[in-house]
Amino acid sequence: MMRLKVTFVLFLWILPLALANLRVGFYRRSCPNAESMVRAAVRRRLTRDKSITAALLRMHFHDCFVRGCDASILIDSNRKSSSEKDAGPNLTVRGFELIDEAKKALEATCPSKVSCADIITLATRDAVFLSGGPFYFVPTGRRDGLVSDPDEVNLPGPTLTVSEAFQAFRAKNMSMDDMVTLLGAHTVGVAHCSFFLDRITRPDPTMDRGLAAKLRSICGAASGSNPDPTAFLDQATPFALDNQFFKQIGLKRGVMKIDQELANDPLSRRIVSGFAANATLFRTRFAQAMVKMGNIQVLVGNAGEIRRNCRVFNPRRRI
């Protein structure tokens, strides 16, 4: 009797913990091909659009930093209510069609099983690997959120100092090392001139002169049809997930202020030089930090829902 009671109490205590955790291979039984189907969609897109890796990384970051990794970023606004997509910093998040494509394939094979939040996480993992970055196992089992509110979007901006930017990361239990590592995602992709114009319109001693001249020419070509041109964030290998970003900022070739600050600020510069000197170290840490970011405030168990269409909440069931 005593034994039974102890086991029972132990069981009650362990059960919520087990449910509350993501785990690698969550869909092994419910949808065995889930991960390979997501990978196929990413691979197809990458063959014609190398920029999708950057799009997914940014989407994943913006998703996880608003209300946790719950696919709130995917909700379309409608006449009745606006969503995160309407908030300023969303501006240029892209790649939504790729998530739709993967979701469509998954719904055809295993309806209502695989969350949109997990699709973002898996697609980002695959794009990172297919762009030369590390492969890592990602825990899955996230559920999709029921809220997407533009007023909750409060992401760090590119003109912050390192310590200001760190407030946003610390609020998510991420360390300075995690933040510097994750900003290494700026080794792929682009920024619009409006995000760094202040650094090239007046002399900025923290920027390499050659880069400043190049950026002035890119941004000076703005026109009616292209009012806000873009420049690569990594001047050396803009489509490769490598440690070049850290080498470039060491040469004053950071495009946005926050990027350059990482190399200059005593809070972060040793981490930067460590990554610049050791590509393996960056790969290892990047994989770890991505998994950690993907675990921020996730919904699990019976919380939230598995959206059927990533852009809209499921219709409420009538009781």
Ligand X SMILES: *[C@@H]1O[C@H](CO)[C@@H](O)[C@H](O)[C@H]1NC(C)=O
Binding region: 63, 66, 68, 70, 72, 84, 156, 186-187, 234, 237, 242
Is 214 near ligand X (CB under 6 A)? no
Nearest to 276 by CA among 263, 267, 265: 263
Distance, in Å, from the CA atom of 117 to the CA atom of 102, rounded to the nearest integer, reads 12
Nearest to 197 by CA among 172, 218, 166: 218
With a CB cutoff of 8 Å and minimum separation 6, the contacts of 170 are: none
In the complex with ligand X, which residue's Cβ is closer, 86 or 208?
86
60 is catalytic: no
In the complex with ligand HEM, which residue's Cβ is closer, 86 or 107?
86
Beta bridge partners of 143: 299
Among ligand X, ligand HEM, none, partner that 192 touches (CB below 5 to 8 angstroms by kind) = ligand HEM
Beta bridge partners of 191: 231
* CB 95 within 8 Å of CB 52: yes
> What is the pattern of x (binds ligand X, CB under 6 A) and - over residues 273-292?
-----x-xx--x--------
- Contact residues: ligand HEM, CB under 6 A: 51, 54-55, 57-58, 61, 92, 94, 156-158, 165, 182-183, 185-186, 188-192, 195, 256, 258
Distance, in Å, from the CA atom of 199 to the CA atom of 255, rounded to the nearest integer, reads 8
As measured in angstroms, the least distance from the Cβ of 285 to ligand HEM is: 12
* # binding residues, ligand X (CB under 6 A): 13
In the complex with ligand HEM, which residue's Cβ is closer, 106 or 200?
200
* Catalytic residue of the set 39, 62, 257, 311: 62
At 102 the three-state DSSP class reads: helix
Q: Dihedral (C-alpha) 241, 206, 264, 292: value to the nearest 10 degrees?
A: -30
Residues lying near ligand X in the complex (CB under 6 A) are found at 85-86, 90-91, 93, 172-173, 278, 280-281, 284, 296-297
